[in-house]
């Protein structure tokens, strides 16, 4: 089950919302927990027990930490080992086995374990709770069902944003559901659904078709088309999911922090990571970079800490060397900006072009199936080569007037042009935004009725 499926849109979400609305508030947490477990079990009938087990282990460890003094480091280390170990077994075991086989010329069989949906997200959320209790930043949660609701809450369970426990701990205990928040939430949900269904899916068809071509057919025109399409796809796919999660959170009285802030207008790579997947970058800063010493132990140590953080950022995205290199690539440019480039002195327009270029090339590495494909695509971006008749034919089939229109819409929607105008603060604009959401809703329904192509990129993480 995904947010863009008709079953979810027409049945699950309305039913859960209405039941939660009429239930006495003291039963809300139990009901939302039941609905969240049902939502996850719909797609993962076995791994739902793994998620509950993970929550229970961390619940018990945090209780012991609280009883024996919150600074009991051994319990914190035990929780880290358990959570990272669980992630390693299900997400990275085959990656490690293949690496060992390659280095030592062994033939250890791979486990081929199915990857639990959203395991990276709920593992990081659980760790944030343990860290918060250890640091004394939040009281320990003595009600297991309340903690489990935080871990499993269905709007952000599968693909984020990563919600830190201290941001929602009070809302778990007490929150308000009203008409104003519901309408705002519905509008935000529809905007996110439109990002995913109307824009990301259109870009995905282009990127997937071109990336499926043989490397010998990749020309400069084809490579740039695929690279830009994928950069737009991943942004509207993931930011659309985040918008839907934030909107649904409002409908149920929860307020999640923003996860994207127009990253494609960034003026440096550092600025880009302040705007892209904010919940992940802030998680690594709070729970990895700062505990390692941040920039408080000298320049060389700070550089090492940054590289480690971006190595882990890449690895978090998937068990493949392309993800690791993508993370290190971003870390390298952050270090270059800090040490040599001094981009803050460049003209703003040049800074934005530079940032977009670095980001688009990075996503080529991220999207490619292997390094050979990545190198072919990057080489084609910068060394001109003409299209083969087959590749140009594919390009012509893809680049219809509608495709050009969707590219224009995507470029426009990835900038805050409308929000930056005075009109955006008027009451007329507020009313028009709801009318626009209604139009988008109708377009999304037509799209959902006519296609089943709705893959979310971040579900596999």
Q: What is the pLDDT of residue 1?
A: 46
Distance between CA atoms of 56 and 59, rounded to whole angstroms? 5
The catalytic residue positions are 317
| Per-residue pLDDT tens digits for 104-154 | 888 889 888 888 888 888 999 999 999 999 988 888 999 999 999 999 998
Contact call for residues 390 and 306 (beta carbons, < 8 A)? no
**Roughly what angle, to the nearest 10 degrees, separates helices 119-135 and 47-67?**
10
Residue 349 to residues 266, 268, 355, 360, Cα–Cα distance (Å): 10, 11, 10, 17
Distance between CA atoms of 38 and 417, rounded to whole angstroms? 40
User: Predicted confidence band at 377 (pLDDT cuts at 50, 70, 90)?
Assistant: very high
Query: Strand, helix or coil at 140?
Result: coil
Contact call for residues 195 and 413 (beta carbons, < 8 A)? yes
Residue 291 to residues 61, 287, 295, 380, Cα–Cα distance (Å): 20, 6, 11, 42
pLDDT at residue 2 above 50? yes
Contact call for residues 398 and 205 (beta carbons, < 8 A)? yes
Q: What is the pLDDT of residue 8?
A: 66
Distance between CA atoms of 41 and 428, rounded to whole angstroms? 43
The distance of Cα 383 from the centroid of its chain, to the nearest Å, equals 32
> Could you tell me where the DSSP H helices lie in 252-384?
269-275, 278-284, 299-317, 321-336, 348-367, 371-382
Average pLDDT in the chain: 88
pLDDT at residue 6 above 80? no
Distance between CA atoms of 30 and 25, rounded to whole angstroms? 10
| Per-residue pLDDT tens digits for 31-72 | 999 999 998 888 778 899 999 999 999 999 999 988 876 567
- Apex 61 CA angle, 55 and 65, nearest 5: 140
pLDDT at residue 160 above 80? no
Global pTM? 0.91
Average pLDDT for 361-368: 96
Average pLDDT for 286-302: 85
Q: What is the pLDDT of residue 445?
A: 86
């Amino acid at each position: 089950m995904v947010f863009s499926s008709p079953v979810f849109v027409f049945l699950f979400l309305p039913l859960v919302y209405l039941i939660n609305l009429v239930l006495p508030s003291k039963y809300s947490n139990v009901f939302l927990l039941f609905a969240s477990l049902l939502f996850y079990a719909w797609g993962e009938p076995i791994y739902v027990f793994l998620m509950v087990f993970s929550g229970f282990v961390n619940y018990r460890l945090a209780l012991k930490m609280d009883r024996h003094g919150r600074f009991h480091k051994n319990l914190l280390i035990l929780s880290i080992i358990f959570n990272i170990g669980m992630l390693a077994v299900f997400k990275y075991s085959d990656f490690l086995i293949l690496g060992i086989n390659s280095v030592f010329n062994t033939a250890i069989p791979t486990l081929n374990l199915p990857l639990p949906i959203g395991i990276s997200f709920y593992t990081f959320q659980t760790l944030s709770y343990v860290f918060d209790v250890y640091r004394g930043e939040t009281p320990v949660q003595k009600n297991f069902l309340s903690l489990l609701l935080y871990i499993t809450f269905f709007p952000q369970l599968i693909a984020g944003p990563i919600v830190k426990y201290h941001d929602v701990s009070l809302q778990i205990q007490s929150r308000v559901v009203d008409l104003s928040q519901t309408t705002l939430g519905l509008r935000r949900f529809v905007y996110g659904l439109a990002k995913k269904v109307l824009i990301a899916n259109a870009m995905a068809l282009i990127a997937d078709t071109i990336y499926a071509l043989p490397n010998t057919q990749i020309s400069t025109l084809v490579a740039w088309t695929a690279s830009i399409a994928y950069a737009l796809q991943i942004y509207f796919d993931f930011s659309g999911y985040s918008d839907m999660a934030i909107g649904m959170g409002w409908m149920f009285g929860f307020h999640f922090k923003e996860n994207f802030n127009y990253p494609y207008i960034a003026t440096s790579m550092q600025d880009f990571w302040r705007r892209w997947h904010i919940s992940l970058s802030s998680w690594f800063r709070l729970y990895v970079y700062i505990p390692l010493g941040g920039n408080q132990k000298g320049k060389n140590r700070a550089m090492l800490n940054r590289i480690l953080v971006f190595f882990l950022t890449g690895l978090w995205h998937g068990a493949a060397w392309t993800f690791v290199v993508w993370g290190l690539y971003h870390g390298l440019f952050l270090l270059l900006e800090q040490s040599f480039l001094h981009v803050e002195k460049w003209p703003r327009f040049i800074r934005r072009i530079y940032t977009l270029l670095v980001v688009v090339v990075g996503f080529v590495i991220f999207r490619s199936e292997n390094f050979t494909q990545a190198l072919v695509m990057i080489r084609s971006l910068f060394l001109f080569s003409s299209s083969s008749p087959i590749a140009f034919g594919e390009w012509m089939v893809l680049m219809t007037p509608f495709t050009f229109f969707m590219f224009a819409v995507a470029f426009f929607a990835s900038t805050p042009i409308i929000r930056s105008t005075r009109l955006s603060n008027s009451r007329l604009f507020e009313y028009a935004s709801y009318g626009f959401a209604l139009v988008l809703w109708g377009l999304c329904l037509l799209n959902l009725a006519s296609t089943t192509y709705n893959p979310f990129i971040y579900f596999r993480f």
